[in-house]
Structure 1
């Protein structure tokens, strides 16, 4: 851990488990004050209690990224609690497996509502606050599935391609306002979501790990370390970057 984020206030969306929770631990260890957001209050409260016990300044606010009013509420709650918003990690996402012609319209709409609309809503409200301050750094979460195609997860991959498009456009839109926007693209990462993929596509995860130069899945903390770098002043001239955290899979 370092002091790279000392004095910064960071909003972590999708913080209840997996990459979001692990990243929150890294960001807190690097000195950030955090507002944690996810749909479920109980896991948020548990993580906030854990970080508070370790001496970190943490708040939490339940919310659904697919609902505009919720996003306004938790962004405003961050400013009310801490007085500012310096960085955000937009990590809320869901996965869905199935051949494109076998995905239901309901499932497709739900996936897009969380992964794409939710990212856009978070960007919109975070930019509103950061533009007023004239500075800020935002990191969105995509996937190596946003960089290439493969069978069995087309709807998910389409959503992750869209997140990269949103990020690149946002970097152009708000760079003149002093705001940086980047995106991480994790490969297989040991999380509850990865377990769902293992069950839905038998052998698929193991095949990807076998094709990864480092021959292992990543961890949420490894992704969190990259997010911390992108949010910090060490990355002050990086914007619009798509950074794979994948053990070399897309190399």
Structure 2
């Protein structure tokens, strides 16, 4: 159990981030919920505080802005005194065929998924160096290995996340700081609404989508239990990456 531990989760107001926050809370941790949507993150925190023993604390942050991330991390540390586990989950993307991507499309996707992760990692690692330890799990994507098309900006950002994960892992492995990545497959989230899930489902060997609760357990395990693992990207994809089955 994770009593007296502090987990920091970005993009925590819905989807996978919310499921990760709940999994940490279910194991007894205090959880800082970070999201750009102030109303939703406060509502989620209120709901979780009524359900779990640990403290659930909301903080507003737009991860695409460096100063906002630094301020967010400082607020969490001031409130809880530390951060033990950081889950950089916030993300999203504009899906279009490659040549149809505008500068705005590409920049918007990369600013959240790539730069947002970078800003969070940098601030978290600085805090972990002060503490003498810490664990980061970044959100990758199956699209970094296999994609159905129309994911150029998203893939560029998520491949960058994998590269940053490996680089930081090597830089700080001897400082008791672990940095890993989890790459979910087809998951039932609001971002996959609008027919995308149904379109891709036939290619999944397990013939079903992953629930946010399933992949949340992977994130929390990697963050808390895989204590000799660093620099790795763990796929939770129902078998897609090892063989398509249409």
**If the TM-score is normalised by the length of the shorter chain, which range does it land in?**
over 0.9
Q: CA deviation at 1:88?
A: 0.4
**Structure 1 length-normalised TM:** 0.93
Show structure 2 runs of 5+ residues with no match: none
Shift of 1:15: 0.5
Corresponding residue of 2:205: 213
Which of 206, 209, 233 is residue 242 of structure 1 equivalent to?
Answer: 233
> Is the contact between residue 184 and residue 244 of structure 1 (CA under 8 Å) also seen in structure 2?
yes
Asked if structure 1 preserves the Cα contact closer than 8 Å seen for 2:188 and 2:197, the reply is no
Cα RMSD after superposing both structures: 1.2
User: Which residue of the other structure, out of 18, 22, 41, is the alignment partner of 1:21?
Assistant: 18
Aligned counterpart, 1:171: 169
Cα displacement string for residues 154-199 of structure 1 (whole angstroms, at most 9, x for unaligned residues) = 1111111111111111111111111000101011100000115x3x
Secondary structure at 1:155 match in 2: helix
| Structure 1: segments with no counterpart, 5+ residues | 199-203
The CA distance in 1 between the partners of 2:186 and 2:89, in whole Å, is 15
| Distance in 1 separating the partners of 2:160 and 2:223 | 21
Note if 1:144 corresponds to 2:142: yes
User: What's the TM-score, normalizing by structure 2?
Assistant: 0.95
The one of 37, 40, 43 equivalent to 2:40 is 43
Given that residues 96 and 111 in structure 1 are in contact (C-alpha distance below 8 angstroms), is that contact kept between their aligned partners in structure 2?
Answer: yes
- Which residue does the alignment assign to 2:102? 104
CA distances 1:136-157 after superposition (whole Å, capped 9, x unpaired)? 0000001100123442111111
Q: How many corresponding residue pairs?
A: 241
**Could you tell me how far apart the structure 2 residues matched to 1:88 and 1:241 are?**
16
